[in-house]
Structure 1
Amino acid sequence: MANGGGSETLVLYEKRGWLREQGRSWSSLRKALRNSIAIIGLLTVWEAAPRLGLVNVTFFPPFSEVVQAWWRLLAAGDLAEHTAASLSRSFSGFALAIALSIPLGLAIGWWKTVAELLNPLLELMRNTAALAILPVFILLLGLGETSKIAIVFYACAFPLLLNTISGVKNVDPLLIKSARSMGLSSVRLFRKVILPASIPTIFVGIRQAGASSILVLVAAEMVGAKSGLGYLVQYAQFSFLITDMYAGIITISVIGVIINYTLLFVERRLTGWKQTYSE
């Protein structure tokens, strides 16, 4: 009897656990559908407007035709080739900006002497748009890969730098006082308090830089390149391959969304303590 009662209890717990999992799955599905309503509505309008004659189908083809063009480019290998070229340039400039801008931003935010020395130069350069000095990069570095990576680096550097500086300077003073009262040295204070507390703000800069790395690169590829998504979009426009042009634009948008959500995932993993503390 006792064994029978234990088995029934175990089955009951398993059933409840299964029901909870099903409830979470349905809740996640409903949330995903709710968050996708605007996108679904946009795609529906995109499909219907040209077919109903509301817009010129020559310049604004239905979404289904764009999807067909996208699949054709993918099957032919052209889309993969251009995407790989763009991502290689984008990630190179982005990674270089992270490697240089974050340590420099930490130094400027933490040491007053460094800030007084570099702030005037940073204020001058950060107000100069990256695309405005693209011709300078091309003149100095040529039309090859170096100039494109350099312009991506320049565009990514300042969001990273400014957010890192802001993250360091806006650390709660009570945290710093508490750490000092416990006898922490300057090095341990920086490593144990300042750096962890700055990570959320630094990641704001990383996400902004991630978006800039794609947008600026696409514009640069339209000026001087023989490969890449920016080149694909411009070539399709000049050749009047309108569906190919929209296919390239959609690819750029999807890549931007993927980069943003990937960085959000990494941020949540690195700042799990923040969510626990807020709860």
Structure 2
Amino acid sequence: MVANLIKKLGKKLYSLLAVFIFLLIWEVAPRVGLADPIFVPPFSKVILAFFQLIISGEMFKDVLISLQRAIIGFGLALIIAVPLGLLIGWFDRIEKFLDPLLQTFRQTSALALLPVFILIFGIGEVSKVAIIFWGVQWPILLNTISGVKTVDPLLIKSARSMGASPLTLFIKVILPGAFPSIFTGIRLSATSAILILIAAEMIGSNSGLGFLIYESQVKIEVPNMYAAILSIAILGLVVNYLLVLLGKKIMKWNDDTSIINE
């Protein structure tokens, strides 16, 4: 038992080895002159700035503001994109009619449309939520469509042959069969929501993590800038980890869980 525990611990440490090496290089390079400490401060100074921002409460305030914006935009995309994707994926005529338009829209960068959203909605909260909604809906929508279309036709025929009603067919066959693909879209969108928001906050905002990065860069408070960037990375990892756990709980019935371990 002890040997197995040591073996598992060794595997965990090995998986983090690349991170440790990167942080060590980050700490040493500015100190030995391989990087300019003004623009790339040692990692220890960044960590110090990180905890100072936490103690002052500034970090929590900006994280909560950014999370609130991201959750609203992501939630709206989830509510709209999943039902729409199920509808488009189930009805071929609707898909053929809308696909050229959807493919055109999905290629339009969310950040390129930010000035348009600001013109329409102003520089307040609505424009930020709108840009998140636009950017994150496409992975959910397109993965939902793909999931519906890749459900095993034999399962559909078998359910129909046993007299399953359209509602039963949808609940018992279509939705479970499409869910792994839908969940992949949700994971992609959840991380994208944070990244799109940070960029939007750097362009037009007076609060949030993106604003903290921009303000620190303008004031040449470089350790604070890196500390904010580090907090974004940690936030992304936490969101992804929570979604992986949620996926494992929901999809216990599915033997192929590789889709949620990626």
TM-score greater than 0.5 by the shorter chain: yes
* Superposition map of 1:69-218 within 5 A: 69-218=49-198
CA distance in 2, matches of 1:249, 1:277: 31
- CA 1:92–1:27 in structure 2 vs 1: closer, same or farther (change >3 Å)? farther
Q: Which residue of 2 aligns with 1:63?
A: 43
Long gaps (5+) in structure 2: none
Unaligned runs of at least 5 residues, structure 1: 1-18
Q: Following TM superposition, by how much is the alpha carbon of 1:121 offset from its aligned partner in structure 2, in angstroms?
A: 2.3
Q: 1:120: how far off?
A: 2.9
Q: Distance in 1 between matches of 2:257 and 2:192?
A: 31
Rounded Cα–Cα distance in structure 2 between residues aligned with 1:103 and 1:181: 26
Q: Distance in 1 between matches of 2:7 and 2:183?
A: 29
| Offset at residue 276 of structure 1 (A) | 7.4
**Over residues 223-243 of structure 1, what are the superposed CA-to-partner deviations in whole Å (9 max), with x where a residue is unaligned?**
110000000001101110000
Cα distance change on mapping 1:101 and 1:24 into 2, 3 Å: farther
Measured in 2, the distance between the counterparts of 1:93 and 1:26 equals: 44
Bigger Rg, which one: 1
How far, CA to CA, are the matches of 1:180 and 1:28 in structure 2?
48
**Cα offset, 1:124, TM superposition:** 2.0
What letter matches 1:96 in structure 2? L
What is the Cα deviation at residue 61 of structure 1? 0.6
**Secondary structure, aligned partner of 1:275:** coil
Count of paired positions: 258
Q: Answer yes or no: is 1:42 the counterpart of 2:22.
A: yes
Whole-Å Cα distance in 2 between the matches of residues 45 and 256 of structure 1? 23
Mapping of residues 13-32 of structure 1, within 5 Å: 19=1, 22=2, 25-32=5-12
Aligned to 1:243: 223
Q: Percent identity?
A: 47
Preserved CA contact (<8 Å) 2:49 2:227: yes
Aligned to 1:253: 233
Distance 1:201 1:24, change over 3 A: farther
How far off its partner does 1:173 sit? 1.8
TM-score if structure 1 supplies the norm length? 0.89
**Which amino acid is 2:197 matched to?**
L
Q: TM-score, normalised by structure 2?
A: 0.94
> 2 CA distance for matches of 1:125 and 1:174?
33
Return structure 1 stretches of 4+ with deviation > 6 angstroms: none
8 A contact 2:248–2:257 mirrored in 1? no
Structure 2 residue identity aligned to 1:158: W
Q: RMSD value over aligned CA atoms?
A: 1.6
**TM-superposed deviation, 1:277:** 9.4
Partner Cα distance (1:188, 1:261) in 2 = 33
Cα distance in 2 between the residues matched to 1:155 and 1:222: 16
The 2-side partners of 1:160 and 1:30 are apart by 37
Aligned-residue offset at 1:25:
3.9
Post-superposition offset of 1:48: 1.0
Contact map agreement 2:251 2:257 (CA 8 A) in 1: no
